[in-house]
Homo-oligomer: A and B are copies of this chain.
């Protein structure tokens, strides 16, 4: 039993061949992945299977969904021990307008915001757009 299989089982997901492949794919990419990216990478697998795998992973807190403002849902593996929905774990995301890639900046947490009276914050999403380190040539 490999590390990935153990991880999946720990999260309550049966480690099928497909799921292991998808996990590996997510692990080796350092950027957020869209369903379409998956489709291209796994031309043999069905779109629905990829879709449902991502949803299962999300539910079991293996990945978190990222809304980077492109209107295309992206996904990235959660950090070990992260509580995606807890305020202290909400990190920001960076979307590069040049290469169109989105990355997690897991070290950069979303600052706490004081809201007007009556507003109760439960979640937050902060996306910075611009040019990424690869594209800025630095």
Contacts and interface: CB of A to CB of B under 8 A. Distances in A.
Contacts of A97: 122
A113 interface: yes
A57 to B, nearest CB: 19
A127 interface: yes
A126 B129 contact: no
A69 interface: yes
Given A111-B111, A115-B94, A130 B136 contact: no
How many of these chains are in the complex?
2
Interface string A112-138: 011111111111111111111110101
Contact of A128 (B92, B94, B118, B124): B124
A71 interface: yes
A21 B127 CA distance: 33
A105 B116 contact: yes
Interface residues of A, number: 35
A110 B125 CA distance: 12
A60 interface: no
B127 A119 contact: no
Contacts of A136: 118-120
- Top 6 nearest A-B pairs (CB, nearest first) are A118-B133, A122-B130, A118-B138, A123-B129, A120-B131, A121-B130
